[in-house]
Amino acid sequence: MEEKEAFDKYKNFSEWFRTIIMDAELVDTRYPVKGCYVWRPYGFKLRKYVLDIIRRLLNNTGHEEVLFPLLIPEDILGLEKEHIKGFEGEVYWVTHGGLRRLEKKLALRPTSETAMYSMFKKWVHSHADLPIKVYQIVNIFRYETKATKPLIRVREVTTFKEAHTVHATMEEAEKQVKEAVEVYSKFFNELGIPYIICRRPNFDKFAGAEYSIAFDTLMPDGRTMQIGTVHNLGQNFAKAFELTYEDINGKHQFAYQTCYGISERVIAAIVAIHGDNRGAIFLPSIAPIQVVIVPIIYKGEEEKVLQQCRKVLNALKQEGIRTFLDERDISPGRKFYDWEFRGVPVRIEIGPKDVANNQVTIVRRDTFERKTYSMEDLTTVIKEIFTEIEENLRKRAWEEFRKRIFRVKNLQEAKEIIQNRRGIALIPWCESDECGLKMCEEVDGDVLGVVLSEDLVNLAENEVCPICGKETKKMAAIAKTY
Ligand code: P5A
Ligand code: ZN
């Protein structure tokens, strides 16, 4: 009984989250290297369907997929000074090949700017070679010193989608940043993950960037989690890597660059945001199993019921619906419990009465609504139910998110909100690093940056920064972060 009490999304988020990812067999965190974990078949499928979405969005906007090596030579990793300063404490080094010490140490990529840009330099000659828009989905290694947390802060990031672009002008790089923000917005919208978009304070930008824009979502425990970032790199890396192009006048110019990334944190967010105290809930678009069929068998009627179940199974499969018929020799109740826990969005129950009436009983995972439907046109009905579930999950998540964003009058109020883990506080800010750092200190939390999400903030009037008193139209988002 005690175990049951601990499984509560809001009262004990960590334990709830760990139980779901392990017991729903998404991953196994018992691998004997800290910060590394295994994707199991069910989780791997979920991951694949999520990646299919981002691949589609990127391919449709002119990005091309590539694959770069995992190893980066020491001198190349160190070319951009700010970048290496930011990452030096997190790099894993390969020092030996077999028994021999390597002359040049090799880093396991903590991210691939340096690996890619040393090659871009060889590909770009004239303005006609631009823009470059590529991405890869790979593992990266970061020796994180903060406490690791499965999917959320790992040392082997298994699912790092990094995009990198090169442009002739700053305007084009700016436009690319906008496109990236749009792509990620669409991605998170499809997944029903609510987010706030902020321009990070200077003291918290990506190492080597001009500025960074971040997407943060809110976890059930009241902390925000950064689920994606978009960086304008300006000419910083181009200068370090001598990445130049010949313009129309035959003059050599340094290129402008952007990069943007997401990781398995997105999958953590999906689990955390949509799940409930009966387990995971997956949107049909990404659910490894979209429909589970549970036969309700009574003695003597087994064959009739199973036959009908197989008929439904085949009909749904034919329509490309990922369907599983659970023929295990355990009670239907146990099966319901299992598949609810594993997040299957639609359950079909078929018993003798359903067979007799040429109908099925359908139960939705998100609302537990139970209804009977005729066998006619069943696939159409199921697809409609999928759409309804997706809409409901998205709406539910955004409503919950908006409820936990507070416009506060002063820092005392902001502190109260984030200390009690109620959510995100919004307060005017002059945008200076100095005042930003002061605010962090006073509220004992983090300034996520200036809010860019227009739907979440609109200030008609100038207000004043609570630290320096300067007039401003900008709002800072403040929270406890992961
Ligand atoms: C953008 C892509 C970069 O690395 N270089 C290429 C840029 N940005 S970032 O902000 O450092 O990382 C991008 C996103 O990856 C997630 N992330 C992590 N997820 C899990 N465990 C980690 N240790 C980890 N580190 C970064 C974050 O969501 C981050 O926004
Ligand atoms: Zn100020």
Q: What separation in angstroms does the CA of 471 have from each of 429, 432, 455, 459?
A: 9, 12, 22, 12
Across the range 160-182, mean pLDDT stands at 98
Residue 447 CA: which ligand is closest? 2
- The pLDDT score that the predictor gives to residue 298 is 85
pLDDT for residue 299: 83
Peptide bond into 131 cis (omega under 30): yes
The amino acid that residue 59 corresponds to is N
Domain ranges in the chain with CATH number 3.30.110.30? 405-481
Please, what is the average pLDDT of the chain? 96
pLDDT tens-digit map of 346-400 = 999 999 999 999 999 999 999 999 999 999 999 999 999 999 999 999 999 999 9
Class of the CATH domain delimited by 291-385 = alpha beta
Residues of the chain with CATH 3.40.50.800: 291-385
Q: What is the pLDDT of residue 166?
A: 98
In this structure, the residue with its CA closest to atom 8 of ligand 1 is: 261
User: How do residues 219-229 score in pLDDT, each as one tens digit?
Assistant: 999 999 999 99
Which of 142, 176, 211, 229 should be mutated for ligand 1, with most atoms under 8 A from CB?
229
CATH (residue range 405-481):
3.30.110.30
The pLDDT value recorded for residue 1 is 45
Question: Which residues contact residue 210 at a Cβ distance below 8 angstroms, ignoring those fewer than 6 apart?
Answer: 231, 232, 233, 234, 236
Q: For ligand 1, atom 22, name the residue with the nearest CA.
A: 153
What would the mean pLDDT of 98-126 be, rounded to a whole number? Answer: 98
What are 458-473's pLDDT values in tens digits? 666 778 999 999 999 9
Here the tokens at position 5 are 């009490």
- Token output for 465: 């920064």
Q: Measured between alpha carbons, how far is 34 from 39 in angstroms, rounded to an integer?
A: 15
Q: Answer yes or no: is pLDDT of 451 > 50.
A: yes
To which residue do tokens 């995992």 refer?
70
Q: What is the pLDDT of residue 460?
A: 64
Q: How many Å is the Cα radius of gyration of the chain?
A: 25
pLDDT of residue 443: 96
pLDDT more than 70, % of the chain: 98
Q: Could you tell me what percent of the chain has a pLDDT over 90? A: 95
Non-local (6+) Cβ contacts of 334 within 8 A are none
Give the max Cα distance, the chain.
86
Nearest ligand to residue 472 Cα: 2
Separation CA 316–CA 311 (nearest Å): 9
**Nearest atom of ligand 1 to the alpha carbon of 227:** 28
Look at residues 246, 240, 253 and name the one whose alpha carbon lies nearest to residue 113: 240
Best probe residue, ligand 1, of 144, 154, 159, 226 (max atoms within 8 Å of C-beta): 226
d(CA 476, CA 478): 6
In 3D space, the residue among 245, 243, 252, 360 whose CA is nearest the CA of residue 313 turns out to be 360
Q: 5-274 is classed in which CATH architecture?
A: 2-Layer Sandwich (3.30)
* More reliable by pLDDT, 298 or 246: 246
d(CA 441, CA 446): 8
Shortest-distance atom of ligand 1 to CA 266: 28
**Ligand nearest to the backbone CA of 229:** 1
User: pLDDT tens for residues 183-216?
Assistant: 999 999 999 999 999 999 999 999 999 999 999 9
Nearest to 82 by CA among 173, 176, 212, 174: 212
The verdict on the CB of residue 263 being under 6 Å from ligand 1 is yes
Confidence of residue 6 (pLDDT cuts 50, 70, 90): confident
Residue 157 Cβ contacting ligand 1 at under 6 Å = yes
Sequence ranges of the chain with CATH classification 3.30.930.10: 5-274
Best residue for ligand 1 mutational test, from 39, 111, 188 (most atoms within 8 Å of Cβ): 111
Does the beta carbon of 200 sit less than 6 angstroms from any atom of ligand 1? no
pLDDT band of residue 454 (cuts 50, 70, 90) is confident
Average pLDDT of 8-26?
Answer: 97
State pLDDT tens for residues 296-334. 998 888 899 999 999 999 999 999 999 999 999 999 999
428 in ligand 1 pocket by Cβ < 6 Å? no
CA–centroid distance, 463 to ligand 2, in Å, is: 11
Contacting residues for 166 by C-beta, under 8 A, at least 6 apart: 120, 124, 130, 131, 132, 238, 243, 255, 256, 257
Q: For the residues 407-425, what does the mean pLDDT come to?
A: 93
Cβ–ligand 1 distance for 133 under 6 Å, the answer no
Angstrom CA distances, 287 to 135, 179, 414, stand at: 25, 28, 38
Ligand 1, atom 5: closest residue by C-alpha: 111
Nearest Cα residue to atom 29 of ligand 1? 228
